[in-house]
Amino acid sequence: MTPAPIPTVPFALDSRQQVARAWFESLRDRICAAFEAIEREAGSDASFAYTHWDREAEGQAPGEGGGGVRGVMKGKIFEKVGVNVSTVGGEFAPGFAQTIHGAADNPAFFATGISLVAHMANPHVPAVHMNTRYLVTTKSWFGGGADLNPPLPREEDTAHFHDVLKSACDAHDGDYYPRFKAWADDYFYIPHRGVHRGVGGIFYDHLECADDAGFDANFAFTRAVGDAFLDAYPPIVRRRMGESWTDADYAAMLEWRGRYAEFNLVHDRGTLFGLKTGGNIDAILMSLPPMASWS
């Protein structure tokens, strides 16, 4: 595995920001290694290619507000997978600040996190999305989640994915899984289509860190979500990646990918956040599939 570059951060980080950033980067490395291992099992030498980017925002020189690293792999099993990390800071635009937790009266912010989307070559292997993040405005909090997006849903895969996430949630708070599952069901919905984007997962936000105890608890949960993703998704890939498919299966996948693209371009808050904060366009839109169709 080619070592991934570290994002340039030209401003000082406090201890919480440093430890959160380091975790997201280490999780990126573990996920990329796991995905490359699957490619090796399939007889492919595909690897992640990494591109460093600097935040570009009005009032800041390129890189002054931090940046990130975009990692992309195109292989035999993973038709296109992007795993991004970023650490950025600056000020939200006045109008956008009004929409961000804790930024209405002071637009200064810091954000660090990981985001990934995998689109698969085999229609029987579900696509997947995962992200976790730590944000600081006048408040500080963790958010994130993971959700499974199969073109051709299988009950066994859906149950496995949810069971792993539920176990991770239950270890921290018995209310987390039903609450965060319902949040994902509500969030990953395409109203103009009247359908959900996939078979769900968990979604959480604003787990606030008002003191050290709050930070420690919510950071521990966020780490558990990252670990759970590695337990939940690769086994599904290995279970399905050798299955044969038909032209009808492939056509269904392309149509489903169109729905995925519609959600990310029209409704996804992460896409909007990246575009409004001087993020890298290619990193923001890495979530889009390599091919899709609309009937």
The closest alpha carbon to 128, from 194, 61, 1, 38, belongs to: 38
Distance CA 100, CA 107 (A): 9
Contact predicate 133/221, CB 8 Å = no
3-state secondary structure of 203: strand
Residue 206 annotated as lining a ligand binding site: no
Residue 99 annotated as lining a ligand binding site: no
Residue 162 annotated as lining a ligand binding site: yes
Residue 119 annotated as lining a ligand binding site: yes
Contact predicate 287/129, CB 8 Å = yes
Residue 278 annotated as lining a ligand binding site: yes
Task: Enumerate the β-bridge partners of residue 82.
Answer: 72, 117
3-state secondary structure of 136: strand
* Amino acid identity, position 230: L
- Output the CA–CA distances (angstroms, integers) from residue 171 to 17, 160, 168, 216, 264, in the order listed: 24, 17, 5, 15, 31
Residues with catalytic roles: 129
Residue 160 annotated as lining a ligand binding site: no
Which residues carry a binding-site annotation? 115, 119, 129, 131-133, 162, 192, 278-280
Which residues carry a binding-site annotation for substrate? 115, 131-133, 278-280
Which residues carry a binding-site annotation for a divalent metal cation? 119, 129, 162, 192
